[in-house]
Amino acid sequence: MISLASLPEKLHEQVWRAMQPGEEPVLVARPKLTVVNRVSLPYIFFLVFAIFFVSLWVFCGGFAALPFLALFIALPAGGVWYTYWQMQRTVYIITERRALVVRATGRKGWQTLSWPLTPGLVKERVLRADGSGDLILGYETSRDAEGDSTTVPQGFFNLPELRRVEQLLLDIAPAPRG
């Protein structure tokens, strides 16, 4: 995978803040940087629709509404860009105690997600043909204003070597009791 020293300075600093005293990284990985991925797919879908809609509008009605229509394209394009930007500022760490995700959440904000290494830590695996994939380690449930709940998977996304990381988690996690 990669070494901690190869991380950009701000990301390196956040990783050390996230780790507990005496905790050492066993594995440090970064997501495979791709524009099309699980998170950006809805934005890409709306971007393609927006480009089609704007092209049709300009073809049929002219250029009068083009500034408004440019915004129609800019919003989903911004979502794709933000997803890529966030992936550049994400690191996955496995220590002898925990699995961690450290990622940027905005211009100066950082988020750390943590799961203790326990049997059954990996809830779901998504393996792609090139060997990359996602390890779902948990789910976050949120409610909107109407009270509807949404479940969002959390974990290691777009891992370059999924099987290797999953095997390492299985090797380090304590065996089930019983």
The backbone torsions φ and ψ at residue 165, rounded to the nearest 5 degrees and listed phi first, read -65, -40
Query: Is the separation of the CB atoms in 87 and 158 below 8 Å?
Result: yes
CA distance 39 to 131: 19
Helix or strand holding residue 174 (H, E): none
Question: Hey, which residues does 120 pair with through a beta bridge?
Answer: none
In this prediction, residues 39-51 reach a mean pLDDT of 80
pLDDT for 166 equals 93
Distances, alpha carbon 29 to alpha carbons 40, 48, 69, 106, 147, in Å:
20, 32, 40, 21, 37
pLDDT for 147 equals 80
pLDDT for 65 equals 65
Query: Is the separation of the CB atoms in 102 and 112 below 8 Å?
Result: yes
DSSP SS3 for 92: strand
Locate all alpha helices (DSSP H) within the chain, ordered by sequence: 9-18, 41-61, 66-88, 162-172
CA distance 89 to 111: 11
pLDDT for 38 equals 67
CA distance 8 to 5: 8
pLDDT by residue (tens digit) across 93-152? 999 999 999 998 877 789 999 999 998 899 999 999 999 999 999 999 888 778 888 888
Name the amino acid, one letter, at 127. L
Query: Is the separation of the CB atoms in 117 and 103 below 8 Å?
Result: no
| pLDDT bucket at 43, cuts 50 / 70 / 90 | confident
pLDDT for 1 equals 67
Query: Is the separation of the CB atoms in 117 and 26 below 8 Å?
Result: no
* CATH architecture of structural domain 4-39+84-172: Roll (2.30)
Percent of the chain surpassing pLDDT 90 = 41
CA distance 47 to 42: 9
Helix or strand holding residue 126 (H, E): strand 124-127
pLDDT by residue (tens digit) across 117-129? 998 899 999 999 9
pTM, to two decimals: 0.78
